């Protein structure tokens, strides 16, 4: 049985609060920047058909986040 450390639980809880609508604890590295641009463009022209930025990570991004996460333990 594996258990998460208190630090890991704190980080995951913080991410859940930060991204409440996400299925991912660690969204795409550029997600926040892309979302700002999306909202700005949508506000300027609500009729524009745009695709909302994806929040998911590719496997390369996961490697970086997991490496950074394990350094804090």
Q: Which residue has the higher pLDDT, 21 or 5?
A: 5
Give the model's pLDDT for residue 55. 62
Look up the pTM and report it: 0.40
Looking at residues 8-23, what average pLDDT do you find?
82
| Cβ–Cβ < 8 Å for 7, 71 | no
Cβ-based neighbours of 48, under 8 Å, separated by 6 or more? 41, 42
pLDDT tens-place string over residues 16-73: 888 777 767 776 667 778 888 888 988 888 887 777 766 665 556 667 777 777 777 6
């Amino acid at each position: 049985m594996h258990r998460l450390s208190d630090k890991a639980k704190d980080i995951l809880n913080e991410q859940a609060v930060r991204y409440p609508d996400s299925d991912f604890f660690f969204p795409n590295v550029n997600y926040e920047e892309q979302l700002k641009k999306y909202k700005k463009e949508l506000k300027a022209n609500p009729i524009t058909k745009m695709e909302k930025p994806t929040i998911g990570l590719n496997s390369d991004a996961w490697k970086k986040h997991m490496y950074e996460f394990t350094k804090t333990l």
